[in-house]
Amino acid sequence: MSYRYSPKSSFKRRMPIRSFRDLGIYQTTEKISVEIVKNIIPHIPEESSLKKDLADCSMQIPHFIAEAHSRRFDDKAKAMKLLEEVLFLCNKVVVYLEQVRDIYSEEKPPPQSPPLSPKGTPLAPKGEILSLPKGDGNTPSDLRSATPLDGNTPSDLRSATPLEKGNYEVDRVSVDEIIKKYFYVRPKIFNFFKAWKRFDEVPSRPKEEKTTKNKDKRE
């Protein structure tokens, strides 16, 4: 019976684990931590304690996985404790991300199309002047040249630009995607933890019993 490779199949050949860098949980958490430092941390104000807490917490996860893999034979209890700490830090990072998302981002409503006049032309909202294309014979010249933010508009009516606000706005979509990645990798870390624990609980057969059974078979 021959097996054919199918690109649509979800089967992936497992590579041998030669170091902690071959662990899927290490590769995933390392990429997520880099994404947080590059895309989320710069948008948090310097005076906020969440900036340091989120960076330190996300960076510790791959470090602890590497350390646990190194201690798995020397100090098994320490290695298991480190994996438990990794599970705790995953939850902690999700809490930090949700706090950053809710504090430093605004949930924008979906864009709405402007109402139309009986002739089919868009109407400006109440209190605003809609700039219309030039050359329309039915439009007065003063309305054709007017724009919502021209020089005659009072400064208190003009909205502040991101630079005036400090430019500390986090992308909600990016934060939600990172949270999904942590919810994806955390069960894998837990399964990895259970596999190590199950391997430690397998009873080893005494050498005396093995030798006596071999003698009985020979006789």
Position 121 in a domain: yes
| CA dist., res. 128 & res. 139, Å (int) | 16
**Residue 196 counted as domain residue:** yes
* pLDDT given for residue 3 in this prediction: 36
Co-location of 177 and 96 in the same domain: yes
Q: Are 170 and 105 in contact (CB under 8 A)?
A: yes
**2 in a structural domain:** no
Q: Are residues 37 and 120 in the same domain?
A: no
Write the CATH number for 176.
1.20.1440.60
Domain range for residue 184? 20-107+172-208
122 by DSSP, 3-state: which?
strand
Residue 49 sits in the same domain as residue 136 = no
Both 94 and 126 in one domain: the answer is no
Cα–Cα distance measured from residue 161 to residue 167, given in angstroms and rounded to the nearest whole number: 8
Query: What whole-number distance in Å separates Cα of residue 82 and Cα of residue 67?
Result: 8
Comparing CA positions, the residue from 88, 138, 142 lying closest to residue 117 is 138
Task: Based on the fold, state whether residues 98 and 61 are members of the same structural domain.
Answer: yes
Render each residue's pLDDT in the chain as its tens digit; 219 residues: 343 434 455 546 566 677 888 899 999 999 999 999 999 999 999 999 999 999 999 999 999 999 999 988 888 899 999 999 999 999 999 999 999 999 998 766 666 666 666 766 766 666 555 555 555 555 544 444 444 444 444 444 333 333 334 457 899 999 999 999 999 999 999 999 998 888 766 555 555 555 555 555 555
Are both 83 and 130 inside the same structural domain? Answer: no
- Please check whether residues 101 and 40 belong to one and the same domain: yes
- The pLDDT score that the predictor gives to residue 89 is 96
Query: Do both 76 and 128 map to the same domain?
Result: no
Number of independent structural domains in the chain: 2
Same domain for 86 and 180: yes
| In a shared domain, residues 38 and 103 | yes
In a domain, 191, yes or no: yes
**Residue 127 to residue 158: CA distance in whole angstroms:** 13
Any domain includes 87: yes
pTM of this prediction exceeds 0.85: no
Residues 83 and 185 in one domain: yes
Q: Give Cβ neighbours of residue 18 (< 8 Å, ≥ 6 apart).
A: none
Q: Per the domain annotation, does 162 fall within a domain?
A: no
| CA-based torsion, 161, 165, 168, 173: positive or negative | negative
Same domain, 143 and 101: no
Evaluate whether residue 1 is within a structural domain: no
Q: How far apart are CA 192 and CA 173, in angstroms?
A: 29
Residue 155 domain flag: no
